[in-house]
Amino acid sequence: MEIKILEKSNETIRFMLSGVSPAFANALRRIIISEVPTMAIDDVIIVENTSIMHDEILSHRLGLIPLTSDLDSYYLPEECSCKSEFGCNKCRASFILEAEAHDKTITVYSGDIKCNDPKIKPVSDKIPIVKLAPKQKIKLEAYARLGRGLEHAKWQPVSACGYKFLPKINIDKKRCDACGECVKNCPKGILEIQDKALIVKDEMKCTLCKDCVKHCPINPPAIEISWDDSTFIFYVESTGSLQVERIIKEAFKIIINKSELVLSQLKQLEENKKSDSEA
């Protein structure tokens, strides 16, 4: 298995994964989406709410605000030593939100939420939560914990995660007359005529739509689109809760742990069969 980084920014990454099966690529995608833990608000205690928004809707909106996560300082509730349904400072972060409109309508934003841990905060301060008309007020306490996307979408660390096969474009130079029809109909603009010959500018941008093949006037077409079914181009976009590199690392750790668990269980099964046969 080989990994090559193609593009990377603070919140997105595009990399090539080669030497694996489609099943492994899909397992990695599913683990990134549903098993990498992040922090999200899970419990809300409404002290006062005179706004037009119901308590349940207000709580739901708070839960969907992406929070920065600290996987090194906090434990998943099931792994925490406190073993309490209420949690402790090792597995839970607490927030306070208090806002009141006096003589004009105001908008309460995510930046108005205050946490006891400065490392845990909303990814953006400009997420609107509720509007308060004059004389309206909200006061609440909220508690965030680590969770996984398979429990609820609010714990998903990514807003986008997908992959495609590595495209392969083959041009029959002897039969292609460089008429330009494929160039006109390529939605990604990756084909070009240079020196009366058809060339490919960026093969990896191909979406495998095969529009170039459909519009080629030669029969059979002089251009062929295929793919490498052991090489994949991944695109991952973080919600901001975790650095995108950390998301990928945690996903591979989970795959390794799951593999080791299966191997240990198989080894135990073999040992049990051996002891039974000796008995």
Q: How many CB atoms lie within 10 A of CB 149?
A: 21
Question: Cβ(53)–Cβ(136) under 8 Å?
Answer: no
Name which of 91, 105, 97, 33 is nearest 65 in CA terms.
97
Q: Which residues contact 193 (CB under 8 A, 6 or more apart)?
A: 178, 180, 183, 199
Its CATH architecture, for the domain 2-35+159-237, is 2-Layer Sandwich (3.30)
Q: In which residue ranges of the chain is pLDDT below 50?
A: none
Domain ranges across the chain: 2-35+159-237, 38-153
State pTM to two decimals: 0.87
CATH superfamily, region 38-153: DNA-directed RNA polymerase, insert domain (2.170.120.12)
Radius of gyration of the chain from Cα atoms? 26
Give the model's pLDDT for residue 279: 65
Residue 38 CB: number of other CB atoms within 10 A? 26
The predicted structure's pLDDT at residue 129: 97
Give the per-residue SS3 of the chain.
CEEEEEEECCCEEEEEEECCCHHHHHHHHHHHHHCCCEEEEEEEEEEEECCCCCHHHHHHHHHCCCECCCCCCCCCHHHCCCCCCCCCCCCCEEEEEEEECCCCCEEEEHHHCEECCCCCCECCCCCEEEEECCCCEEEEEEEEEEECCCCCHHHCCEEEEEEEEEEEEEECCCCCCCCCHHHHHCCCCCEEEECCEEEECCHHHCCCCCHHHHCCCCCCCCEEEEEEEEEEEEEEEECCCCCHHHHHHHHHHHHHHHHHHHHHHHHHHHHHHHHHHHC
